[in-house]
């Protein structure tokens, strides 16, 4: 290994591009190589199920940087090429085009991929999933032509896609195994808000169901059959059954894997010269006192700053509270904090739940705020984050009272 070996980043999406930017911002002036297997330069995915899918945002808005930025910043951007292996002993990455690149430090930012449906008929024409910009283009076109859409999975992407299908005028059925949408993340009190929202927009929500088969004719989807024998006709089926982290390279390289690439609070893997950030990283969170893998935009935006500084030898750790957002119909929300499935004592609402203008707080048994979610209420995220980070018991009565400023509770 020589001193002028590049810092190499595998995965040219949000986390990868932000890591390259953060290395330059931190003053690193050595070579940086950013490798991505997509043909597009790094882009952000949230618009793919929202404005871009709805046709209200142009393609230009999705990109992380203008193309010229990479040249101007001295980033060797290699697109449309897969990294096929990592050799930690030789400090070398192999690419599908037969070339190899030596590295001084390596960042794995390979993200995640949609989980595949494990039922017969999943590969029929018209069964689509959403991860890349091309998927969003394909789904948009399908919605323009479809009259009946079945969405399998009532998670964030399933529900946002449902809203877009309704906006395009399709009849939509959502099939979900659990008893409510998003119930593992939100618990029943708040999950019901999302069930009501979609019901009011004319969506047929089917809970507690098991998909047995995607039916088809001449290679094209015709519907979905459930384990209980019921069938739902469809000319488009959206499979939105979660994602899995892209850990194949890291696994083959012998790195420790545990629901993603296992990294410490500095985002360093079991190999001291290899780091991971974004969807693929299962990172130790010092404030939460546990490892978490966050599949959200803000994590892919912010973790790379810590990774870059740690790669440059600084003593930093990543302790931001998880944050995510969604837009569905006329509901916009932000969520800050972290609650394990079922890991809260009660939910306190502040504001008008019926009108969907409220903040919900998840409290533990000592009335400490674990997470907060503002729905159609804005400019409260900083106060919610301070309440969560503070880790102090709060007065639940005051928390529920919109007349009491939230930041006064955070500092009390
Ligand atoms: C449709 C959609 C909507 C979303 N909406 C929201 C939202 O509203 N709010 C929110 O908080 N989050 C949202 N997210 C999640 C957010 O987009 C992700 O958390 C974020 O994209 C993660 O970024 P990443 O860079 O870690 O990984 P990714 O975006 O998955 O990027 C990883 C990149 O690495 C590439 N790659 C993988 N393996 C290799 C290899 N071997 N060689 C070369 N390249 C490789 C992949 O092709 C990909 O380009 C959404 C995601 C999707 C798909």
Determine whether the shortest distance from the Cβ of 17 to ligand 1 is under 6 A. Answer: no
Q: Are 20 and 11 in contact (CB under 8 A)?
A: no
Alpha-carbon distance of 161 to 181, in angstroms, equals 14
Q: Which atom of ligand 1 is nearest to the CA of 279?
A: 26
Share of the chain above pLDDT 90, in %: 98
State which ligand 1 atom lies nearest to the alpha carbon of 131: 53
Q: What is the 3-state secondary structure (H, E, C) of the chain?
A: CCCCCCEEEECCCHHHHHHHHHHHHCCCCCCEEEECCCCCCCECCHHHHCHHHHCCCCHHHHECCCHHHHHHCCEEEECCCCEEEEECCCCEEEECCCCEEECCEEEECCCEEECCCCCCCCCCECEECCCCHHHHHHHHHHHHHCCEEEEECCCHHHHHHHHHHHHCCCEEEEEECCCCCCHHHHHHHHHHHHHHHHHHCCCEEEECCCEEEEEEECCEEEEEEECCCCEEECCEEEECCCEEECCHHHHHCCCCECCCEEECCCCECCCCCEEECHHHEEEEECCCCEEECCCCHHHHHHHHHHHHHHHCCCCCCCCCCCEEEEEECCEEEEEEECCCCCCCCEEEEEEECCCCEEEEEEECCCCEEEEEEEECCCCCHHHHHHHHHHCCECCHHHHHCCCCCHHHHHHC
Asked if pLDDT for residue 332 goes beyond 70, the answer is yes
Torsion of CA 399, 404, 407, 410, to 10 degrees: -40
pLDDT in tens, 97-116: 999 999 999 999 999 999 99
pLDDT digits (tens, 9 = 90+) for 235-254: 999 999 999 999 999 999 99
d(CA 9, CA 3): 17
Q: Are 203 and 164 in contact (CB under 8 A)?
A: no
Going by pLDDT thresholds of 50, 70 and 90, the confidence category of residue 72 is: very high
pLDDT in tens, 10-46: 999 999 999 999 999 999 999 999 999 999 999 999 9
C-beta of 140 in contact with ligand 1 (< 6 A): no
Instruction: Tell me the sheet residues that pair with 32.
Output: 7, 75
CA of 14 to the centre of ligand 1 (A): 7
Q: Which atom of ligand 1 is nearest to the CA of 95?
A: 42
Structure tokens at 215: 């039916």
Of 60, 67, 362, nearest in space to 187 by CA: 362
Quick check: 411 pLDDT over 80? no
| pLDDT confidence band for 260 (50 / 70 / 90) | very high
Q: Give the mutation target among 18, 33, 96, 110 for probing the ligand 1 site: most ligand atoms within 8 A of CB.
A: 110
- Please, are residues 174 and 206 in contact by the beta-carbon 8 Å criterion? yes
Ligand 1 mean position to 227 CA, how many Å? Answer: 32
Closest C-alpha to ligand 1, atom 19:
296
C-alpha of residue 261 to centroid of ligand 1, in Å:
15
* Residue 286: Cβ within 10 Å count: 12
Dihedral angle sign, alpha carbons of residues 160, 163, 167, 170 = positive
Which residue's CA is minimally distant from atom 26 of ligand 1?
A: 278
User: From the CA of 8, how far away is ligand 1's center (Å)?
Assistant: 18
C-beta of 278 in contact with ligand 1 (< 6 A): yes
- Threshold 0.75, pTM exceeds: yes
Measured CA to CA, the distance from residue 360 to residue 349 in angstroms comes to 5
Please state the atom number of ligand 1 nearest to the C-alpha of residue 296.
19
Q: What is the CA(297)–ligand 1 centre distance, in A? A: 8
**Ligand 1 atom nearest to 277, measured from its CA:** 26
Residue 187 pLDDT > 70, yes or no? yes
Distance (Å) from CA 40 to ligand 1 centroid: 13
> Ligand 1: which of 111, 139, 280, 322 to mutate, judged by most atoms within 8 Å of the beta carbon?
111
**Residue 343's pLDDT band (boundaries 50, 70, 90)?**
very high
- Whether 131 lines ligand 1, by a CB cut-off of 6 Å, is yes
Which of 1-5, 208-212, 369-373 has the weakest average pLDDT?
Answer: 1-5
Tell me the pLDDT band of 3, cut-offs 50, 70 and 90: low
- What pLDDT does 79 receive? 98
d(CA 128, CA 199): 23
- As a whole number of angstroms, the distance between CA 201 and CA 50 comes to 16
What strand order describes the sheet that includes 83-87? 83-87, 92-95, 100-102
Q: Which atom of ligand 1 is nearest to the CA of 295?
A: 19
CA geometry: angle 69, 136, 149, nearest 5 deg: 165
Cβ neighbours for 180, distance < 8 A, ≥ 6 positions apart: 154, 188, 191, 192, 194, 195, 207
Residue bearing the CA closest to ligand 1, atom 5:
46
């Amino acid at each position: 290994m020589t001193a002028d070996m590049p810092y190499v980043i595998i995965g040219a999406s949000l986390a990868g591009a932000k890591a390259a930017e953060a290395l330059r911002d931190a003053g690193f002036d050595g070579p940086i190589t950013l490798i991505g297997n997509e043909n597009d330069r790094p882009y952000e995915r949230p618009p793919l199920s929202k404005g871009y899918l709805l046709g209200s945002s142009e393609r230009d808005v999705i990109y992380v940087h203008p193309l010229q930025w990479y040249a101007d910043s001295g980033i060797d951007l290699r697109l449309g090429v897969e990294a096929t292996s990592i050799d930690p002993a030789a400090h070398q990455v192999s690419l599908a085009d037969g070339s190899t690149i030596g590295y001084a430090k390596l960042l794995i930012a390979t993200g995640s991929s949609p989980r595949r449906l494990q039922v017969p008929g999943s590969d029929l024409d018209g069964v689509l999933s959403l991860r890349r910009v091309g998927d969003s283009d394909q789904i948009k076109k399908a919605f323009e032509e479809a009259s009946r859409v079945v969405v399998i999975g009532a998670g964030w992407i399933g529900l946002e896609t449902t809203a877009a299908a309704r906006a395009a005028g399709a009849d939509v059925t959502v099939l979900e195994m659990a008893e409510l949408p998003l119930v593992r993340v939100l618990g029943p009190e708040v999950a019901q808000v999302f069930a009501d929202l979609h019901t009011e927009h004319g969506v047929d929500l089917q809970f507690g169901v098991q998909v047995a088969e995607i039916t088809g004719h001449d290679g094209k989807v015709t519907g979905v059959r459930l384990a209980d024998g019921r069938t739902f006709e469809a000319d488009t089926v959206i499979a939105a059954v979660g994602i899995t982290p892209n850990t194949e390279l890291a696994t083959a390289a012998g790195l420790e894997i545990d629901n993603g690439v296992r990294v410490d609070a500095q985002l360093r893997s079991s190999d001291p010269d290899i780091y991971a950030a974004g969807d693929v990283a299962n990172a130790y969170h010092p404030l939460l006192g546990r490892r978490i893998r966050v599949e959200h935009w803000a994590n892919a935006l912010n973790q790379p700053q810590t990774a870059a500084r740690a790669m440059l030898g600084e003593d930093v750790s990543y302790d931001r509270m998880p944050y995510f957002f969604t837009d569905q119909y006329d509901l916009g929300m932000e969520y800050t904090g972290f609650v394990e499935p079922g890991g809260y004592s009660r939910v306190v609402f502040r504001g008008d739940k019926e009108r969907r203008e409220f903040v919900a707080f998840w409290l533990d048994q000592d009335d400490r705020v674990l997470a907060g979610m503002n729905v159609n209420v804005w400019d409260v995220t900083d106060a919610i984050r301070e309440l969560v980070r503070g880790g102090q018991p709060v007065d639940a009565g005051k928390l529920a009272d919109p007349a009491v400023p939230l930041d006064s509770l955070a500092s009390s």
